[in-house]
Amino acid sequence: MTDIRERTRNEDTRGRLDPESDRVVALPNARRKRRRGYGGALFGGTALILLVCGLGTGGWRHYQAELAVAATAQQRRTLVPEVRVAAVRASDSKIAVTLPATTTAFEAANIFARTNGYIEKRYVDIGDRVKAGALLVDITAPELDHQIAQAKATLAQNQATLKQTQASRELAEVTNGRDSKLVKQGWLTLQQGDNDRLTLQAQQAAVAVAESNIAAQAAQIRILEQEKAYQRVVAPFDGVITQRNIDNGSLVTSGSTFMFTLMHPDVIRTQVFVPQDEAYGLGPGVDAVVRVPEIPDRTFPGKVTRIATALQPGSRTLLTEIDVPNPDGALSPGIYCTVELFIPRKTPSMVIPADAVVFDQNGLHVAVVENGAAHLQKITIARDFGKEVEVHDGVRPGDQVILNPMIDLAEGSKVAVRKPQTS
């Protein structure tokens, strides 16, 4: 009975007493606890196995990665990369340069008044075409007519004075010739002879003065008559009136009143400033083409007519003029245009693709393939055309330059030229 009670007290933890077999039967709660103990051990073993497997797999992969890196390094050391190349070519014998320019008239003159007066009649206006010698305006100056009349009257007076002086001189000559003989014979005194001789000299001088007065007065009349002629203002050459500053009744002053601007537009003078690096080889006779943005479907060919010879000190540019025939008046003075010059090349240069140029800490250079090896050559760019560049040094015509070279391409690296694909 004591054993039964003891077992009864421990039913909660161990089980219950089976009355038929007198055995302790495990309760479900105890079975659950025992199962938990088995599951924990199993989970721990599984985790340990997985950990060992993971470490082994990681170690294997690391080993394989090291082998791959070593193989890649060995392959890179022994690999000869294929590269695309392009041939360096010499520049053309002429260099085409496009520069901004300005058109001016072949001849242009600002016409000023050359006499004082009032505008009596104006015959032309802005835009009128005139021929050389055509009358532009009439200027009236009544006081000028009075001055001319007065000068002519003074001239007549001087001419009369000359005649009077000449008569006195002839009388003095006759008197001196007669008295000189009497003085020698003793009939007249020496004093009388001296008086006659000196009187003759005085009359001769008076004639010279009268003649000079006549010449001076005639010159004054010519001046006044020239001013009178300036009252008719005429065109100095064929052209177009581009500016007018007077009207009928305007007061004009000699030498200071601006009246018209006359331009000759049948030939247009185009002025362009050529930079120093492109001026060598430029001279009269060089072909040129003028283009106007507002006339895109037409070009105006011409030739360099004159150059300034000396460069502008500030801009280092050479003033160049191109005469362009303009018979239909399509071009106007004072417009913006562009000029394309075909200048003979004086300095040899080479053209290479822009994809071959490398710029890094060592400056500008290209990689030239020679005997299966890449050689880095420094270059100096003269002009950039976008897809191509013009260089002065570093390469020669026919050299093979690598297009888009690798970043790590070193001097002397072995390379293989990729054969062009044939379609």
Residue 63, pLDDT score: 77
SS3 (DSSP) at 164: helix
> Mean of the pLDDT values across residues 27-34?
51
User: Is the pLDDT confidence value at 178 over 90?
Assistant: no
Higher-pLDDT residue of 393, 158 = 158
380: left (phi over 0), alpha (psi -120 to 50) or beta: beta
Instruction: State pTM to two decimals.
Output: 0.57
* Cβ 302 vs Cβ 324: under 8 Å: yes
Q: What percent of the chain has pLDDT over 70?
A: 87
pLDDT tens-digit map of 363-421: 888 989 888 888 888 988 887 888 888 888 888 888 889 898 888 788 888 888 887 66
Residue 36, pLDDT score: 54
Phi, psi of 310, deg, nearest 5 = -100, 140
User: Is the pLDDT confidence value at 37 over 60?
Assistant: no
Residue 416, pLDDT score: 83
Q: What percent of the chain has pLDDT over 90?
A: 37
pLDDT grade, residue 117 (50/70/90)? very high
Report how far residue 237's alpha carbon sits from residue 359's, in angstroms, rounded to the nearest whole number.
60
Residue 74, pLDDT score: 62
Taking the CA atoms of 29, 31, 35 and 38 in sequence, report the sign of the dihedral they define: positive
pLDDT grade, residue 128 (50/70/90)? very high
Token pair, residue 5, equals 């009670």
To which residue do tokens 């801009």 refer?
315
Residue 77, pLDDT score: 60
Report how far residue 229's alpha carbon sits from residue 223's, in angstroms, rounded to the nearest whole number.
10
Q: DSSP secondary structure string, 95-106?
A: EEEEEEEEEEEE
Higher-pLDDT residue of 52, 303 = 303
Token pair, residue 217, equals 């007065």
Residue 12, pLDDT score: 45
* Cβ 355 vs Cβ 404: under 8 Å: yes
> Mean of the pLDDT values across residues 196-214?
89
Residue 79, pLDDT score: 66
Residue 4, pLDDT score: 43
User: Is the pLDDT confidence value at 78 over 90?
Assistant: no
> Mean of the pLDDT values across residues 117-124?
94
Report how far residue 158's alpha carbon sits from residue 208's, in angstroms, rounded to the nearest whole number.
12
For residue 364, the surrounding DSSP H or E stretch is strand 363-370
Residue 135, pLDDT score: 95
Lowest mean pLDDT among 31-45, 174-188, 243-257, 408-422: 31-45
Residue 71, pLDDT score: 65
Lowest mean pLDDT among 45-49, 177-181, 245-249: 45-49
User: Is the pLDDT confidence value at 423 over 60?
Assistant: no
Lowest mean pLDDT among 149-163, 210-224, 342-356: 342-356
* Cβ 200 vs Cβ 172: under 8 Å: yes
Report how far residue 89's alpha carbon sits from residue 353's, in angstroms, rounded to the nearest whole number.
10
User: Is the pLDDT confidence value at 240 over 70?
Assistant: yes
Residue 131, pLDDT score: 94
Residue 31, pLDDT score: 52
Number of Cα atoms under 13 Å in the Cβ half of residue 225: 9
User: Is the pLDDT confidence value at 336 over 90?
Assistant: yes
> Mean of the pLDDT values across residues 270-284?
89
349: left (phi over 0), alpha (psi -120 to 50) or beta: beta
pLDDT tens-digit map of 314-329: 999 999 999 999 988 8
> Mean of the pLDDT values across residues 184-205?
83
Q: DSSP secondary structure string, 108-157?
A: EEEEE--S-EEEEEE---TT-EE-TT-EEEEEE-HHHHHHHHHHHHHHHH
- Rg of the chain over Cα atoms, rounded to whole angstroms, equals 57
User: Is the pLDDT confidence value at 167 over 60?
Assistant: yes
Residue 175, pLDDT score: 86
